[in-house]
Amino acid sequence: MHDLDLLMTIAGGLGAALILGYFSHRLGLSPIVGYLLAGVVVGPFTPGFVANAEIADQLAEFGVILLMFGVGLHLDVQELMRVRRIAVPGAIIQCAISFSAGLIVAKMFGWDWNASIVFALALSLASTVVVTRVLANANELQTQVGNIAIGWLIVQDVLAVLSLVLLPSFAGNQPFNLLSVTMALFWAAIKMAVVVVAITLLGGQLIPRILQHVAATKSRELFTLTILVLVLGIALTSARLFGISMALGAFLAGVVVGRSDFSLRAASDALPMQDAFAVLFFVSVGMLFDPIVLVQSKLLLVSTLMIVMIVTPLSCVLIMLVLGQPMRLSLRVATSFTQIGEFSFIIATLARQMDILPAEAMNVLVTVSILSISCSPMFQTLVHPIQTGLRRYARWSALETVRVPFSMRPAIAEIPITDSLDALHRTVIVGFGPVGKTLAKLLTGNSIATTIIEMNHNSIQGIRDAGYGAVLGDANHPETLKKAGIESSLSLILSASTFQSPEQMIKIARELNPKIKVIVRSSYLFERSNLIRMGADTVFSDEGEVAMALAEYLIKDLGATPEQIDRERDRLRSEIFG
């Protein structure tokens, strides 16, 4: 029966998410809204099919772990360090402001100090899952906006872990003890420091070696299994031994793998189900929605919504401006934090188990989460209208030119993050066999920057030593081609004739760069027409080129003149290649 519940929960949850997510997209809304509504549909408070909430929560937790690993995998550590002076103080001050507002609201409704403090803590934390998904949908995850937002979230996650450590101090009717709280915070900080050092330093040496040995087997299944075991192992160890959240442990594992040559392969091969499990997270949130809260606790609900959707983003904007950031960047970052999420539920759930929070608080948090997450993608569309509206006022124009206590001019240029391999003239070559080496040498000799995509880890260092850009990964995946700079390249050359699916590479390259010239090498002549139909500009067939070379040798050996050789070569090429 448990197995049937599992299948019914997955099928029912994903099926409802597919249908409602599709209609949400057609209406111009984020699919996230549809996923949340799917949870409401399969939840216990609506008629019809009811999914197993416990199973949905477990699957959703696995999705959060995979998502956080993916975030760490794609994180630009150097860029993150560049924005630390914004993200660290910004997150701390914003959490303090949101916490204070939540504390005031809770005390206004007559709650005791312990319940008020825990409720306020839950309101001060944004949803990592939602923020990363919204930024990814807007193609801003790897821009300056994304790096500041992710850095902000990391600080919030650390504060959330510290909050979990403090929860036992608020349990029961025991008075608040500053000494016990201080000691708990001290030991929590020690544990987190040990985890960070162990994963980044020891893991940074050990994990790439493990992946290198597994990659040498050339088995995709073993590589995928290795990544999953490492991620889950590190996440579980962080939680069980050190009391750190599994999500934070998975994030650190992603950072370590992302700094190795295996980052692209891990992203393309090892996380194929990440999106499906992330969808189950939103479904599990929607299942908690109880419509009765809209009637019984409407005043508390409205007050809480105002904190999450007005106080928090407004404080983010003001903090960013004070820190010297431009208005547009401040608005983009601030509108990412207009919701509460997974850590808020974790804190609230544990607090309910310890009898700290009243049932009303949990219901309000769930309802606020659903409403705020549903509206969060829409807030992103308000950035331009808000900025345009502000510019209409004369005072706004004056602020652009007159010195004020805070700067609205960019302290850091707001430009997209580009790869170091970018150049005005670039060619991407897939494969570094004899043909790839020859072409790379020819192109580089003519001042054309060349990037090599190679699956063999042992060849990467040699490629770099030869002065070429090198990307370790599978060219059948968009992220690999993007990393190689396909979007700004003049041409793509598939230099090997043994690729399993060159049509897929051509299709992806055309989608990323419609103007790119695609040159393909194939084994047999019959493959040529299909490759041309799929988008290749020129196809060189091993079979045809050998026939041409042999024919030229024979007619030359028979004493033909250069003019006759040229004429026969043109005739044969026309017959063979059309």
Domains of the chain by range and CATH? 2-388 (1.20.1530.20), 426-536 (3.40.50.720)
Nearest to 80 by CA among 24, 141, 31: 141
Residue for token digits 């992220």? 479
Angstrom distance (rounded) from CA 213 to CA 217: 7
User: What are the CA-CA distances from residue 41 to residues 49, 286, 360 (Å)?
Assistant: 8, 8, 22
Is residue 538 a contact partner of residue 522, using CB atoms and an 8 Å limit? no
Is residue 493 a contact partner of residue 519, using CB atoms and an 8 Å limit? yes
Angstrom distance (rounded) from CA 165 to CA 160: 9
The confidence score (pLDDT) of residue 410 equals 38
Show the CA angle centred on residue 311, arms to residues 308 and 316, nearest 5°: 100
The whole-model pTM stands at 0.62
Nearest to 253 by CA among 233, 281, 224, 278: 233
The tokens describing 90, both together, are: 């910004």
Contacts of 76 (CB under 8 A, 6+ apart): 142, 147, 417
The tokens describing 250, both together, are: 């998975």
The confidence score (pLDDT) of residue 307 equals 94
DSSP per residue, 347-408: HHHHHHHTT-S-HHHHHHHHHHHHHHHHHHHHHGGGHHHHHHHHHTSHHHHHHHHS--SS--
Contacts of 361 (CB under 8 A, 6+ apart): 106, 111, 115, 119, 348
The tokens describing 249, both together, are: 């442990």
Is residue 140 a contact partner of residue 146, using CB atoms and an 8 Å limit? yes
The tokens describing 573, both together, are: 């090429």
186: left (phi over 0), alpha (psi -120 to 50) or beta: alpha
Is residue 362 a contact partner of residue 120, using CB atoms and an 8 Å limit? no
Show the CA angle centred on residue 351, arms to residues 345 and 356, nearest 5°: 140
Residue for token digits 């893991």? 203
Written in H, E and C, the secondary structure of 272-320 is CCHHHHHHHHHHHHHCCCCCCHHHHCHHHHHHHHHHHHHHHHHHHHHHH
Block mean pLDDT (10 aa), the chain, length 578: 72 89 78 83 83 77 77 67 83 93 91 86 84 75 78 81 69 62 72 78 81 82 85 83 74 80 72 74 79 82 92 92 86 87 74 78 82 78 74 49 39 37 70 87 85 83 85 82 86 82 84 89 81 86 81 81 79 73
The confidence score (pLDDT) of residue 117 equals 87
User: What are the CA-CA distances from residue 103 to residues 39, 114, 123 (Å)?
Assistant: 30, 10, 9
DSSP per residue, 69-100: HHHHHH--HHHHHHTHHHHHHHHHHHHHHHHH
- Dihedral sign computed on CA atoms, order 530, 532, 536, 539: positive
Angstrom distance (rounded) from CA 497 to CA 388: 54
Angstrom distance (rounded) from CA 11 to CA 383: 37
- Render the burial of 483-504: b for 16+ CB within 10 Å, e for the rest: bbbbebbebbbbbbbebeebbe
Q: Is 132 exposed, middle or buried (0-12, 13-18, 19+ CB in 10 A)?
A: buried
Angstrom distance (rounded) from CA 408 to CA 423: 32
User: What are the CA-CA distances from residue 222 to residues 207, 417, 475 (Å)?
Assistant: 15, 33, 19
The confidence score (pLDDT) of residue 407 equals 39
User: What are the CA-CA distances from residue 422 to residues 41, 74, 428, 512 (Å)?
Assistant: 48, 18, 11, 15
The confidence score (pLDDT) of residue 174 equals 57
